[in-house]
Structure 1
């Protein structure tokens, strides 16, 4: 049997970030960092499964057996989350997306076209790979 992948959607909330499982209601988590959200989501899933067992409810099929968690963030939330790390000028240099567009995406005034989201994602992944290849 193949591992299932559960997509966890992370969104900006009022004072932190919240997360939920795409297509599966009832399990939410929050946190101030991605690591905290990941840890809290694992705890929320474990608590949900335990509660199902205690109450004699059926555990949803998605949570039976092995599964992987894939975390996904919308562009607005990502730009907000990393605003203290990435400047719009720096993002423009690595993505080729002009700063004015990035400001629109960050403010939520405009959602990026899917191609722009992919362009941003690829540029950030490339930067991450470059950083991982460096030793100090």
Structure 2
């Protein structure tokens, strides 16, 4: 299955934009990450209807979103608070706030720590049964 990698970032005006890392012609903008993700899906559907769609869209594919740290923390703060991020990452809340607000940019090791913690949390959630 082909993976379409979508990069989502926040611009200096507070809006979000996205582009596909591995397929030409997919661009999206919006005031929120949700709007951008919806716009990406619209762009994919539009590309499928063109006379020469990218071959990746002719078979099954999945979308992987690649965020900058600020956008990711802003997007998921509705679900995970700063204390929750601190608990799963080991990074203190003040530092998480600095990353989320764009006051500071995390080093590569910190970004990896956040990414790995979210993946581990996701695995834990997948193992839950009710």
Return the offset for 1:114.
1.1
Q: 1:76 aligns with which of 70, 75, 78?
A: 70
**Secondary structure, aligned partner of 1:116:** helix
- Select 1:6's aligned residue among 4, 7, 12: 4
| Whole-angstrom CA distance in 1 between matches of 2:29 and 2:87 | 32
Distance 2:123 2:64 in 1: 18
Displacement of 1:39 in angstroms is 5.1
Say whether residues 1:64 and 2:55 are aligned partners.
Answer: yes
TM normalised by structure 2 equals 0.74
Structure 2, unaligned runs of 5 or more: none
For structure 1, the residue ranges without an aligned partner over 5 or more in a row are none
Larger Rg: 1
- Give the structure-1-normalised TM-score: 0.71
> 1:3-27: per-residue Cα shift (whole Å, max 9, x none)?
6543201224667643211265542
Q: CA deviation at 1:108?
A: 0.8
Moved more, 95-104 or 4-13: 4-13
